A and B are shown apart, each in its own frame.
Chain A
Amino acid sequence: MKVLVAVKRVVDYNVKVRPKADGSDVDIANVKMSINPFCEIAVEEAVRLKEKGVASEIVVVSMGPKQCQEQIRTALALGADRGIHVETDAELQPLAVAKCLNALVAKESPELVIMGKQSIDGDNNQTGQMLGALSGLPQGTFASEVNVADGKVAVTREVDGGLQTVSLSLPAIVTTDLRLNEPRYAKLPDIMKAKRKPVENVSPEDLGVDVAPRTKTLKVEPPAQRQAGIKVSDVSELVEKLKNEAKVI
């Protein structure tokens, strides 16, 4: 079974970003970039499927500038077999990414596509669902458990108020939630070996996709600064303030 995994290059989760001075965007010059944590979980799940003998090949794909190679290499070090880099310096919005993925699904015919439920930069939570719509493949989003058997994948989903299990016939799309697994760290020998794994370079044009943005960011500004709090001396003062100042009780 071939598995296609999408990984996105995003600002590392430890970095505190700031808006650019002109308010046009978030300033990500010279900040640390990593694989989106949800995508890392997707890679891990694919590698586990391969270790179980369920998956036979893992193809990892990333879209964006030249430096996305780094995230592809990390995924290769974690256990993916080969990479595809859809290289472009254009701004990529979820629909454009979903269209590129759809073209790759047509080309590669994977039986399973695993991707993060969202990326921690845009937090859009759209790409997996859009790919489902474009490709006509069934989708199991927010997965906390994935079981492949008999041409089907059972996906346990984290939904409001509990868990829901859906059964999809393959090929299918799964998007990962945080509790699906705990990603491993890549070992030194695997990092060194990953250098030799093949990475194919294509452009959105090669895939016949127009990536032009459909939405426009008007302004990016920091959240309002919070006022410093005060200390109350006792419970009765707290209650008094909640009643009369905050008017919440």
Chain B
Amino acid sequence: MFDIDATRPASPFYQESHQQWREQLRKFVDREIMPHINDWEESGELPDSLWHKAADMGLLQQGYPEAFGGISEGIDNFHMIVTAQELARCGAGGLYATLLVHGIALPPVVHYASDATRDAVIPAVLDGRAHISLAITEPGGGSDVANLRTRAVADGDDWIVSGEKTYITGGMRANWFTTAVRTGEDGLEGISLLLIPADANGVSRTPLDKKQGWWCSDTATIHFDEVRVPATNLVGEVNRGFIPIVHNFNHERLAIAASCIEYARVCLQDAIDWAAERVTFGRPLSKRQVIRHKFAEMLQRINASQAYLELCAWQDMHLQLKPADVALLKVQATQTMEYCAREAMQVIGGASYIRGCRVERIYREVRVNAIGGGSEEIMRDLAVRQLGI
């Protein structure tokens, strides 16, 4: 097997604990995930035991306050990058997106919810006992958050919620939904964030289990039919929900970018290994210049993307990360994934079209990354607007 790690340029950002975390997590993935991922993909679900093992390893708690059972001392963005990229080696994006879906749903609770809510939710999620999903997108649209229609009406000390959310990752398993609802006027200034328990009266869900990719992920449509939610479940202030929503965008996009770059690297790895073995017209594929140049171009894009990722991650820690940069980084990463998935399939040929091959799966998972978490079009638009172009 070609040593793909040798193609990672030395980077000043990784210290000893990052290296150790990479080493240990790699063993965890090799032992606990790699042997099962094909089965999980085919059966369309991840076992509960995976959350318990992940909690035992410290995966779920990473970056959350110690007071709630998290692990935060000394943890930085580069541990997060290592986590995203090592988990990506299984070549099934549904695993990372689902196992760590609280990475998008829990931070608003951590930073903006009441103490009682935080005590009830955070420790349970961090030790893998309970699950939380983020519910923003609606059948009526995902990019245009300002126009969402799920409505919450005040009734005494409660909110009464009606509406529908869709494409919600982890939606079938979730115990809570961090939900964007309309509490006021049209537009962004009328949106609030509300924590809705999945077992509240009036909540129902439908699995979206026929997907192009992310098969092991439980994606769902969530229906709210006059669901009564205590006002204390409000996350942040009334009609100021966009603050907690936007708060986490940078981290979500950094994490998506990190994983997409690694999916690209997996494609390169599998293509190189295949080409070394495959003989056509009397010579190994890996000796053909046309094929070798594909590897060069894949690697060139992967390394450039990784460098941009690491600069963004560093900026986020030490200065202020410009949303424009992280938006362009996300596009850079999904396009690199797209390019490498395509090229790797060309190199591997027919075998890459058969299920069970990592490249086949990654090829099917390009679009969900290019659309979810801020689509390429929306990211580019945001970048130029933010830069005043």
Contacts and interface: CB of A to CB of B under 8 A. Distances in A.
Interface in B97-142: none
Contacts of A188: 21, 24, 57-59, 61-62, 71, 75, 79
Given A16-B3, A187-B56, A188-B58, A77 B20 contact: yes
Nearest to B83: A188
B24 A186 contact: yes
B3 A191 contact: no
Contact of A192 (B3, B56, B57, B75): B75
Contact of A191 (B5, B21, B28, B59): B21
A14 interface: yes
Contacts of B5: 32
A74 interface: yes
Interface in B51-72: 56-59, 61-62, 71
B100 to A, nearest CB: 13
A27 interface: no
Interface residues of A, number: 22
A163 B31 CA distance: 28
A32 B19 CA distance: 11
A73 interface: yes
A15 interface: yes
Contact of B28 (A30, A77, A185, A189): A185
A189 B16 contact: no
Interface in A8-32: 14-16, 30-32
A192 B24 contact: no
Given A32-B5, A185-B28, A192-B73, A73 B57 contact: no
Given A14-B3, A192-B17, A192-B73, A187 B23 contact: no
A70 B3 contact: no
Nearest to A71: B20
Interface residues of B, number: 26
A195 interface: yes
Nearest to A34: B23
A246 B27 CA distance: 43
A186 B19 CA distance: 12
B74 interface: yes
B112 to A, nearest CB: 26
A120 to B, nearest CB: 16
Contacts of A73: 16, 20
Contact of B23 (A74, A189, A190): A74
A189 B71 contact: yes
Contact of B74 (A187, A190, A195): A195
Most buried by B among A16, A70, A192: A192
Contacts of A15: 3
A133 B20 CA distance: 35
Nearest to B72: A192
Contacts of A191: 17, 20-21, 24
29 contacts: A14-B1, A16-B3, A32-B3, A32-B5, A70-B19, A70-B20, A74-B20, A74-B23, A77-B20, A185-B24, A185-B28, A185-B31, A186-B20, A186-B24, A187-B24, A187-B57, A187-B58, A188-B57, A188-B59, A188-B75, A189-B58, A191-B17, A191-B20, A191-B21, A191-B24, A192-B73, A192-B75, A194-B20, A195-B74
- Which 4 A-B pairs have CB atoms at the shortest separation, nearest pair first? A188-B58, A185-B24, A185-B27, A187-B58
Given A30-B6, A189-B58, A192-B17, 4 more contacts: A32-B5, A69-B16, A186-B20, A188-B62
